[in-house]
Amino acid sequence: MNCQEIREKISSYMDNELDSEQSRCVDQELLRCPVCREELKLLQQVDAAVKEMPSCSPSAQFPARLMQQIAKQAALPERYGFTYNIFVHPVKFFEKFYNLFNSQRVSTTATLDELGDFPPCSISYIYFKLLATKP
Amino acid sequence: MKNIFGDNSDQDLIKAVGNGDHQAFEHIVDRYKNALYNFVYRYLQDRSLAEEVVQEVFLRIYKAAPKYKPANNAKASTWIFKIAFNLSMNELKARRRYSRLTVDRAGEREIPAGMQVPVFAETREMMEGIMSGLRLLPENQRSALLLRVQQGFSYREISEILNATVSSVESLIYRARQHLKQHVCMEHKE
């Protein structure tokens, strides 16, 4: 590795993320090259400043507010799983569809007989007629 | 990762939360609230929003705890920070979609009470340069650097949190450090 390549590895070297061979190369280069040593020093200063940045913390009310939210969550009824949510709506639809036809099952054909003379396009009339005769 | 939280029982705590142990949950909140808040705040640059996101992180942890299974022996802290990162990113995307991100400028250089103020003007200048430089970094670079330097995660753990490869994490951290170094040097010259 040349000097430029070594300098690009200094960041990983600082983090102990190089393998032993690469790490040894960087060690040797640091002994030899003042520019690389300066680079390491600058990056270490940057890291030190990032570490020492003033830390901030959430407000004093945060834990109490969070626990309140948790209590609300716990009070909610348990939600069903993913599989249930996928199948519940189609099942409900087919159930309604089945009930619709099942409840309107006619025991006699009297109404239909009465409508026997209507032309085929008058299906809407037949529909409303059936609707009106629904008990 | 350095043992900054003293956390060899994180997994046990999450299991206990899954079994309905509220005290274990309070322990997790106490352990992670500051680290998460700092991370999310540096990401979103908005204090109240950061608090909302951290609250949501803990709610997600609480809900997911009964089903929690660590992937590839990943640490619980990796899982927690991954939730925080994803929620922060969603928040940032949503805000960008509807409005420009408003920066909480009042708090950006604020040094909280009890925090030791750097003695030397040079150190203070350096820190102010770092803080303003950090805000200018692309989000993925900023997150990678903060996770490494402040939280002490390894490159592999950061790659899991950011959903990236280890080599791209290496590159992100390298570029972040270079940007900050150049930014501080430029500010120093001015």
Q: How many other CB atoms are found less than 10 A from the CB of residue A12?
A: 20
Chain A residues close to B149, C-beta within 8 Å: 47, 50-51
Classify domain B7-113 by CATH number: 1.10.1740.10
Interface predicted TM-score (ipTM): 0.75
Chain A residues close to B54, C-beta within 8 Å: 58, 62
Sequence spans of domains, chain B: 7-113, 116-190
Give the CATH fold of the B116-190 domain. Arc Repressor Mutant, subunit A (1.10.10)
Q: Determine the Cα–Cα distance for residues A44 and A51; give it in Å rounded to an integer.
A: 10
Is residue B45 a contact partner of residue B103, using CB atoms and an 8 Å limit? yes
Nearest in space to B61 (alpha carbons), one of B123, B18, B100, B8? B18
| Mutate which: A40, A70, A73, A82, vs B, most B CBs within 10 A | A70
How far away is chain B from the Cα of A3, in angstroms, using its nearest Cα? 16
The tens digit of pLDDT for each residue in A11-30 reads 999 999 999 999 999 999 99
Chain A residues close to B118, C-beta within 8 Å: 52
**Furthest C-alpha separation in chain B:** 58
Same fold yes or no, B7-113 and B116-190: no
Is residue A79 a contact partner of residue B42, using CB atoms and an 8 Å limit? no
Per-residue pLDDT of chain B (190 residues; tens, 9 = 90+): 444 444 457 888 888 888 888 888 888 998 999 999 999 988 888 888 899 999 999 999 998 888 888 766 778 889 999 999 999 988 888 877 665 544 444 444 444 444 443 444 466 777 778 888 888 899 899 999 999 999 999 999 999 999 999 999 999 999 999 999 888 877 666 5
